Structure 1
Amino acid sequence: MQKIPSLFQRDYKGNRQVIDQVVDGCQWVLLGEGMATEKIDGTCCMIRDGELFRRHDRKQGKPAPNGWIAAEPAPDPVTGHWPGWTKITDTPADRWHREAFDANRSLPNGTYELVGPKIQGNAYELTQHELRSHESAAQYPLFPRSFDAIREALQEMLIEGIVWHHPDGRMCKIKRRDFGLPWPVSDC
């Protein structure tokens, strides 16, 4: 799973929030193409053939860890980052992944978000760790497609953000925090 670009350009010289300028390659969203789904706030992982993997972004010039599986054929030409996967182990760093996976080992192949008490501030106020499938994320077929309307919709919703999925496989995202809106929201 490649790094998903943000829909709008970020003001890196100012407040680091997005501005009303679309990132190259994401214009299809404003043209009404693709399906909007909830962006789940967790840690990305993958199940393949009954094994759990965590996302591992290989930095430019760094060697691949043992067993690393590339998610893309080559590193990003601009940043040099190369997303991929490493198998979950018995180390303490992977204990929350193991807890969630052990609770439901019958999950099908696919990508998931690890969520729970020790992940990303526990935005969903869970008492146990779990894996939430990207495939089953809530869909929003009528989600707005303009800068102001997207900001207003996210202001009203209790979700981290939106990921658009194009039929050809492209994806694009936007988060509440991109507009300076708080996340998590205390009412979640």
Structure 2
Amino acid sequence: MRRLGSVQQKIPCVFLTDVKPEPSSKRDRQQFQVIATENVNPVAVEANIDGAVATEKLDGTCCYVTLHQGRLYLWARLDRKPNKQADKRFKKHQHTHQSSKDFTWNVEEDFKAVSEMWIPAHKVRHHNGHPMPDEHGHIPGWVPVEKSNKQYCWHSSVVDYEVGSALVLRPSSDEEVLEITAVPLADLQEHTLELVGTSINGNPYGLGSKKQPVHCLVPHGSIPVTNPPPVDFQQLCSWFQESPAGRVEGIVWHCKDGTLVKVHRHHLGLRWPVGDTHLSSRSVVVRVDAYSSTNTLFTALSALNGHSFRRLQDVQLES
């Protein structure tokens, strides 16, 4: 499986950004918008963005595969966030200083409690043995997905720990066609992936239905953007609005030195979702062999083993 950059931290925008004091079109209750300028981010220039691999940014929730109690598990993204009092102090500091720099955190008291199984994401800065928040006031991290936790039921639906497999959506050997297949967790170890499907973020890809939900994992960096536009503000705007391949949430560039940079449609003032997306319009084949599984989604997809569908959004489970 193709392996590009792992997503452990928030990815910077490929352009320098401005903050506008108006309600966000992306996040409810956020009273500001982050808008791209036409100036390319020096981070992207230094990492040779022109030689980077462009991949589709997917609209789901971030996951990670690593060990838990000696076994490979799927982990869900869970960022530690400040409690109300600390958040109020942090926002007041940001407003006064127009920056999150120089704010003093008391990590032991300022943050909401998390499970004792929570781990910080890679490259989180530590001080005196404590993980420290980023410039947004969050501490990125992960919690293991256990079957007993109903909060992560859709995460649980795509893994079978007894067999040691996960349901993955990826390009098949024919790059033009996607496949939904069961992949050993061992092949995904230390990968980050995006969980997409019926009950995630309003289901922009039209997967499944409320009666028969469908979810799957997409390894980060696995869906290449064919003939991506140059990293130019106006050309990217035109591509997102006019090209069928531009009906995506955004682009993530994987630079040769490991640097990741992105652009989201909202950075450019463009709406998302967009109806029929590029991903949901691609053809797909189901390759999930029949085997003894207590996981109902694996069983339901195995009944479709070998079936091809003209569009991803046409994949419907049998009642």
Q: Is the structural similarity TM-score above 0.5?
A: yes
1:134 to 1:77, Cα distance in 2 relative to 1, 3 A = closer
Look up the equivalent residue of 1:152 and give its one-letter code: S
Measure, in 2, the Cα distance between the counterparts of 1:12 and 1:132.
33
- The residue correspondences of 1:1-188 to structure 2 (distance < 5 A) are 1-8=8-15, 9-13=17-21, 16=33, 17-28=35-46, 32-49=50-67, 50-60=72-82, 61-62=110-111, 63-71=113-121, 72-74=123-125, 75-76=132-133, 78-89=135-146, 90-102=148-160, 103=167, 104=182, 106-107=184-185, 108-109=188-189, 110-127=191-208, 128-140=214-226, 142-155=228-241, 156=243, 157-188=246-277
1:94 to 1:31, Cα distance in 2 relative to 1, 3 A = closer
1:21, CA displacement in angstroms? 2.8
Which ranges of structure 1 fall in alignment gaps of 5 or more residues? none
Q: Decide which moves more: 3-12 or 58-67.
A: 58-67
**Higher relative CO (CA 8 A, sep ≥ 6), structure 1 or 2?**
1
Q: Is the contact made by 2:124 and 2:140 (CA closer than 8 Å) also made in structure 1? A: no
Q: Is the contact made by 2:80 and 2:114 (CA closer than 8 Å) also made in structure 1? A: yes
Which ranges of structure 2 fall in alignment gaps of 5 or more residues? 1-7, 24-32, 83-109, 126-131, 161-166, 168-181, 209-213, 278-319
1:31 to 1:118, Cα distance in 2 relative to 1, 3 A = closer
1:153, CA displacement in angstroms? 1.3
Look up the equivalent residue of 1:149 and give its one-letter code: Q
- For residues 120-150 of structure 1, the C-alpha deviation after alignment (integer angstroms, 9 at most, x for no partner) is 1111111101111114122446431111111
Number of aligned positions between the proteins = 188
Measure, in 2, the Cα distance between the counterparts of 1:26 and 1:99.
37
Measure, in 2, the Cα distance between the counterparts of 1:141 and 1:28.
22
Aligned residues: CA RMSD: 2.3
Look up the equivalent residue of 2:253 and give its one-letter code: W
Report the structure number with the largest CA radius of gyration: 2
Q: TM-score, normalised by structure 1?
A: 0.87
Look up the equivalent residue of 2:184 and give its one-letter code: S
Measure, in 1, the Cα distance between the counterparts of 2:40 and 2:79.
25
Look up the equivalent residue of 2:249 and give its one-letter code: E
Identity fraction in percent: 35
Measure, in 2, the Cα distance between the counterparts of 1:174 and 1:140.
16
1:42 to 1:21, Cα distance in 2 relative to 1, 3 A = same
Measure, in 1, the Cα distance between the counterparts of 2:267 and 2:197.
23
Measure, in 1, the Cα distance between the counterparts of 2:192 and 2:66.
9
Instruction: Kindly indicate which of the two structures has a greater share of residues assigned to helix.
Output: 2
Q: TM-score, normalised by structure 2?
A: 0.54
1:185 to 1:24, Cα distance in 2 relative to 1, 3 A = same
